Amino acid sequence: LAKTTQPISMDSYEGQEVNITCSHNNIATNDYITWYQQFPSQGPRFIIQGYKTKVTNEVASLFIPADRKSSTLSLPRVSLSDTAVYYCLVGDLGTGGFKTIFGAGTRLFVKA
Partner 1 sequence: DVKVTQSSRYLVKRTGEKVFLECVQDMDHENMFWYRQDPGLGLRLIYFSYDVKMKEKGDIPEGYSVSREKKERFSLILESASTNQTSMYLCASSGGGGTEAFFGQGTRLTVV
> Interface with partner 1 by CB under 8 A: which residues?
32, 34, 36, 41-46, 49, 87, 89, 91-105
Tell me the torsion sign for CA atoms 71, 5, 91, 98: negative
**Residue 19 CB, nearest approach to partner 1 (Å):** 21
When the beta carbons of 44 and 70 are compared against partner 1, the nearer one is 44
Q: Is 81 helix (H, G, I), strand (E, B) or coil?
A: helix
User: How would you write 96-109 as a 3-class SS string?
Assistant: CCCCCCCCCCEEEE
When the beta carbons of 13 and 98 are compared against partner 1, the nearer one is 98
When the beta carbons of 37 and 70 are compared against partner 1, the nearer one is 37
When the beta carbons of 3 and 77 are compared against partner 1, the nearer one is 3
Q: From CA 98, how far away is CA 12, in angstroms rounded?
A: 34
Q: From CA 26, how far away is CA 90, in angstroms rounded?
A: 10
Q: Is 104 helix (H, G, I), strand (E, B) or coil?
A: coil
**Residue 93 CB, nearest approach to partner 1 (Å):** 5
**Residue 89 CB, nearest approach to partner 1 (Å):** 6
